[in-house]
Structure 1
Amino acid sequence: MSSNTSLPVPLQLCYENVSGSCVKAPYSPGPRVILYAVFGCGAVLAVFGNLLVMISILHFKQLHSPTNFLIASLACADFLVGVTVMPFSMVRSVESCWYFGESFCNVHTCCDVAFCYSSLFHLCFISIDRYIAVTDPLVYPTKVTVSVSGICIGISWVLPVVYSGAVFFTGANDDGLEELSSALNCIGGCQTVVNQNWVLIDFLSFFIPTLVMIILYSHIFLVARQQAKKIETTHNKTESSAESYKARVAKRERKAAKTLGITVVAFMISWLPYSIDSLIDAYMGFITPAYIYEICVWCAYYNSAMNPLIYALFYPWFRKAIKLIVSGQVLKDHSATMNLFSE
């Protein structure tokens, strides 16, 4: 005689027969394959896409400019996200377990925070660079030099690394949340809790630079519109060579500002859900379901893979550089002096 009483499903653990192991909540085979494919594609694109950006700018002398050096450094930050953060987060997200040790969990968290904030700082400096280039294109080369760009790059790396190390390696992130942190501290887990003070600092660190970028790019596009109207009204008039040169320079800088403005918008769209969710979570008792949190995290991670796609869509020189790199022509003598601009 059959019984309608169903047997309880035994809990799966990250480490079987290990006391204190985290409970494993894996996806079924179909969704697991799909998630690995989606997350893996993001990581591969972040690594190889940003590697192509760095090689293009650093190899071809025609691309050696303060703005492009900032873009190459930004690509380096996104490349490191693809190498040191995304692959391990992929396994944790799909398997719901951390198999890489407690020490590397701390390193992983620090790299995550440091490289993502480095991207934000780079974008902020790039927006300042574009603001000067569009509003005063003829004086721009004397104001923004390679050495100035180098200082901006140094700040964009040092501050995020120092900040992430000071917060997470010292344990300041979970002050006042020791009980919650202890409850989550099972073997096979890598969940970092951050108290309200540091979450607020994190949010302001995201919000203030983002607000600066919005203000600068709003002014940039306002000036660009005024310049375009001025050029249009004087198009049928006789222009001096100096005025013609100024118009060409202004047009080039506006085009570059438009592309980098799209990069900034993509960054904000990618990171805003995670920033808002973290702030709400800290003040509402960490109520966000795990799947919602993972969606927010991977939206932010995917930003590191988006920038090379944006450059490929809007920068003809980048498309040409990719062809030269993939075909192996960069290995030829004098390849660094090749012309990438169709002018």
Structure 2
Amino acid sequence: MQLFCESINGSCIRSSWSNSIRISMYIFMVCIILATVAGNLTVIISISHFKQLHTPTNFLILSMATVDFLLGFFIMPCSMVRSVEHCWYFGEFFCKIHTSMDIMLSTASIFHLSFISIDRYYAVCDPLRYKSKINTFVIVVMVCISWMVPAAFAFGMIFLDLNLRGAEKIYNHVHCAGGCFLIFSETSGIVASIVSFYIPGFVMLCIYRKIYSVARKQARSINAISRKKMEFEMKHDISFCRERKAAKTLGIIMGAFLICWTPFFFSTVINPFMNYVIPPIIIDALVWFGYLNSTLNPIVYAFFYMWFRRALKIILFGKVFQQDSSRTHLFAD
């Protein structure tokens, strides 16, 4: 049995896995981290560089890609070492910083998705008033809320130890030198899950259900008059199809988020009521399953968005450094 530090009483026990298992875990997690960082960095460069992509929805996607990039670049590497070694080598204060940022960025993702669903609602269900409802000021407000509220919630909860109120006994029992554990009491687990996941998730599902219903009705109407179109109507229908495809794509992104994070938030709620019977290794695996969502988002863009694939080619071949490359047309207006 190896301890984190032999000279310290109450030191954490390091993992007893063989070197082959550790190396395999490191390789697997490094691949996830690299895919997360590279994929989201490509989204950030694409939307920032190409002027054609400077739209309200894309600015929200840009902000969300920044969240996923930071999660992959700053949070996941430290989590990787903790997951494989079962020890925390970066100090108690940085443990609080890491945990706070982890909660903040995870919560910020679903806040972004909530606002993206609102954006898609107006684009598909009320297109005539879309530009007046979703303008630059509204987008800035959405982005600020998506960052500031999760930051205040996460850092306040961790640094004020609000998550431990009512769970002091279990924390004192499992706490050890060289550990970095996130423990919720019954109350804090419910509050954190409701604020960070369940309420925003329920709102998104309701909005996308409405979008899907309206899109189907509009599709039937378009099919009914498809043989009597004027040139203006053709342009309107192309625009509508683009908006509907964007809504579908973002709906898939939202579904991926719910699938990836639901197991973790469900366990966060039930674990305190079951006297913390869920093994820490399972909780850790659920966290990484949630992290995987940040890896999947750029893959969804690459699969569904032609502009992303074209932008990726331009970036990979270095054409992004050419003069006036920012004015490149990635799709037909």
Q: Same fold (TM over 0.5)?
A: yes
Distance 2:317 2:16 in 1: 42
Matching of residue 314 in structure 1 with residue 269 in structure 2: no
Distance 1:63 1:115 in 2: 24
Q: What corresponds to 2:200 in structure 1?
A: 209
Q: CA deviation at 1:197?
A: 1.3
Q: Deviations over 1:245-301 (max 9, x none)?
A: 332221111010011000000000000000111111011111101232122111101
Distance 2:48 2:274 in 1: 47
Q: What corresponds to 1:63 in structure 2?
A: 53
| Mapping for residues 80-229 of structure 1, pairs under 5 Å | 80-205=70-195, 206-229=197-220
Q: What corresponds to 2:41 in structure 1?
A: 51
Q: What corresponds to 2:277 in structure 1?
A: 287
Instruction: Give the residue type in structure 1 aligned to 2:327.
Output: T
Of 135-144 and 46-55, more deviation after overlay is shown by: 135-144
Q: CA deviation at 1:342?
A: 5.2
Distance 1:19 1:277 in 2: 31
* Runs of 4+ residues over 4 Å off in structure 1: none
Distance 1:149 1:108 in 2: 28
Q: What corresponds to 2:293 in structure 1?
A: 303
Q: Using structure 1 for the length normalisation, give the TM-score.
A: 0.94
Counting aligned pairs with the same residue, the percent is 43
Q: CA deviation at 1:240?
A: 3.5
| Mapping for residues 318-333 of structure 1, pairs under 5 Å | 318-333=308-323
Give the helix-richer structure, 1 or 2.
Answer: 2
Distance 2:259 2:109 in 1: 14
Q: What corresponds to 1:256 in structure 2?
A: 246
Contact 1:137-1:253 at 8 Å conserved across structures: no
Which of the pair has more CA radius of gyration?
1
Distance 1:31 1:111 in 2: 28
Give the secondary-structure state (helix, strand or coil) at the position aligned to 2:183: coil
Give the secondary-structure state (helix, strand or coil) at the position aligned to 1:35: helix
Across the aligned residues of Structure 1 and Structure 2, the Cα RMSD in angstroms comes to: 1.3
Structure 2 unaligned segments of length 5 or more: list them.
none
Q: Deviations over 1:212-266 (max 9, x none)?
A: 1111111111111111111111112x23444333322211110100110000000
Q: What corresponds to 1:29 in structure 2?
A: 19
Give the secondary-structure state (helix, strand or coil) at the position aligned to 1:18: coil
Of 161-170 and 242-251, more deviation after overlay is shown by: 242-251
Distance 1:314 1:332 in 2: 27
Contact 2:44-2:62 at 8 Å conserved across structures: yes
Q: CA deviation at 1:25?
A: 2.2
Instruction: Give the residue type in structure 1 aligned to 2:183.
Output: V
